Amino acid sequence: MQKLQTLDYLVFLFYFVIVAGYGFWIYNKKRSTETSTKDFFLAEGSLTWWAIGASLIASNISAEQMIGMSGNGFSMGLGISTYEWMAAATLIIVAVFFMPIYLKNNISTMPQFLSQRYNKTVSLIMAIFWLLLYIMVNLTSILYLGALAVSGISGLDFYTCMIFLAIFAIIITIGGMKVIGFTDVIQVFFLVIGGLAATYLAVTLVSDKYGLEGLANGFKLMTQNHDDHFHMIYPKGNPHYMSLPGLTVLFGGMWIVNLNYWGCNQYITQRALGADLNTARNGLLFAAFLKLLMPVIVTLPGIAAYALYQKGMFQQEMLGVDGTFNQDRAYPVLLNLLPMGLKGLSFAALTAAVVASLAGKANSISTIFTLDVFRPYFAKEMSEKQLVVVGRIVIVVAMILAILISPFMGIEKKGGFQFIQEMTGLLSPGIFAAFIMGFFWKKTNSAGAFFAIVGGLIIAVLMNFDGDAKTLEVLGFNNLFPFDDWSAIPFLDRMGWVFVICVVVMFILSLVLPNEKKGFEIDASMFKTTTGFAIGATIVIITIISLYTYFW
């Protein structure tokens, strides 16, 4: 396999110059109007609906999808696409029900929501949890998997690639959310075009391997010869049931994953919090349409790689540095087969996905630390401009920490995508319980929220240890839960149990203890949408139902 050629580097250089140049132009254009932290962190009133939607996808689709989800496509098939297609439905729910509450109450950050709804203690604890999660899990995973892929394609040293990606992301991030939002439009263009090119070449290569031609024949061969890779719902007994347990992906824990990620996550909601309601909703709807397309870019290449692997290709290339099989090598291996020029375009698409996510995550880390930890507790008298400087310093520090930590996180062991889902899943049920109860039940109090966030995490961790009798006996928690071995319960179902426990305890605590604050005022008119939004949302939902019906 050949590495990048001169034309590939020229294509990539074109991408780099366009993104960096456009970002610099936006920064200079908007700098004169940047007067506050809201301008820097939220780009208040500056992002259009298409910029919000593109930025959501650019920040979401990263190495964990391009590399990790393609790896899962290789090993388990189309079923992993449930994270993308269910996310499209979730975005509609967030647009209709979550955004009106955030915007009506002038919420700038997720810890601010918890502070206004509960108290400062709950807010601070959650801010710290988020910072640890974003740096130690998300930022490290994105950097590690991104560098792994870039190194495999370019032939450059792994750490050189990691540092390059971090510096590129910092260049974009220090310009603030305005620069991130508008450059993400270009990032999504390269991501989609380059990603589709990689998918086209991978699927047509399958048809070539069987002596046929064309995209349609390649896809038909894949579905016929590897039918087990084209089912969305895995029955009990399926080897991938533990990762995607049957109808749980439609009616259970998958909703907790997605509603927490898309509705209660600073990294995501930050893009829409600076806009008016209609703009925010339309941006989320645009992102939902783009989500429907993502499995074509991030899952199909992995399935195509599996089909080629079964024909005897990539036997050595799929081995990791330790000589064992590594599913996350599927996407980089495919990119190395692309012809000169297209390889550079797909390389740019991969870099765009990684850099956009790094920039978005670093901005969220900076926002939470500066506005929710540093300002209220250490710098109440600091000016807005000084706080922006602090925010920029935090961006650089967070990226350096991620570079230093990432090699020690064991990201390769479970596959990058699965690693992130399971680590995030320790916090998701409790966080979502605190938010959803805070939204819609006025009696919910801070004691209940504290239990959901802290207690929910402890319960989730203990459930992960429940199969280890000695560990639990030492801790004094053996036989704590109703199952003999929680390790035999799929992690999505464990998340569902944690969520139910959190909601029940919150309900009891809210009845027994007084509520210090009144709940947010909610009326039905807040959730009314425009006719155009309703039509678009209906199309998204019908498309999702059709996909699940066809690929059941």
Among 355, 390, 419, the domain boundary falls at 419
- 550: in domain: no
- 411: in domain: yes
Phi-psi region of 352 (alpha: psi -120 to 50; beta: other; left: phi over 0): alpha
What is the model's pLDDT at position 1?
A: 47
Phi, psi at 325, each rounded to 5°: -60, 135
**435 and 396, same structural domain?**
no
Q: CA quadruple 198, 184, 173, 298: dihedral positive or negative?
A: negative
- 36: in domain: no
Residue 511 contacts by C-beta under 8 Å, 6 or more apart in sequence?
443
**368 and 504, same structural domain?**
no
349 with 11: CB under 8 angstroms?
Answer: no
**332 and 263, same structural domain?**
yes
**325 and 229, same structural domain?**
yes
CA atoms within 13 A on the CB side of 263: 30
What does 295-313 look like in DSSP terms, one character per residue?
A: HHHHTHHHHHHHHHHHTTT
Tally of structural domains, the chain: 2
**450 and 376, same structural domain?**
no
**308 and 173, same structural domain?**
yes
What is the model's pLDDT at position 487?
A: 66
Q: CA quadruple 430, 436, 441, 442: dihedral positive or negative?
A: positive
What is the model's pLDDT at position 291?
A: 92
Q: How many CB atoms lie within 10 A of CB 37?
A: 23
Among 372, 403, 419, the domain boundary falls at 419
- 224: in domain: yes
Angle at 362 between CA 361 and CA 368, to 5 degrees: 90
Helix or strand run (H / E) with residue 43:
none
CATH number for the domain spanning 250: value is 1.20.1730.10
- 541: in domain: no
- 206: in domain: yes
**503 and 366, same structural domain?**
no
**286 and 172, same structural domain?**
yes
- 34: in domain: no
Among 404, 419, 434, the domain boundary falls at 419
**430 and 282, same structural domain?**
no
45 with 274: CB under 8 angstroms?
Answer: yes
Pairwise CA distance, residues 213 & 383, whole Å: 64
What is the model's pLDDT at position 383?
A: 78
- Give, for all 552 residues of the chain, the pLDDT tens digit: 456 788 888 888 887 788 777 777 766 765 555 555 665 655 555 678 888 888 788 777 776 677 778 888 888 889 999 999 999 999 999 999 988 888 888 887 788 888 888 888 888 998 888 888 888 888 888 888 788 777 877 777 888 888 888 888 888 777 666 666 666 677 777 777 877 888 888 889 889 888 787 888 889 989 988 888 999 999 888 888 888 888 888 888 889 989 988 888 876 777 777 778 899 899 999 999 999 998 998 899 889 888 888 887 777 776 665 667 777 777 777 777 777 777 787 777 777 778 877 887 888 888 888 888 888 888 777 777 788 888 888 889 999 998 888 777 766 665 566 677 777 888 889 999 999 998 888 888 999 999 999 999 898 888 876 545 455 555 455 555 555 556 678 888 888 899 999 999 999 998 888 777 776 777 778 889 999 999 999 999 999 999 999 998
**Of residues 296, 377, 325, the one with CA closest to residue 69:** 296
**221 and 236, same structural domain?**
yes
The range of the structural domain enclosing residue 498 comes to 425-521
- 11: in domain: yes
**450 and 397, same structural domain?**
no
Pairwise CA distance, residues 23 & 173, whole Å: 10
**308 and 197, same structural domain?**
yes
64 with 417: CB under 8 angstroms?
Answer: yes
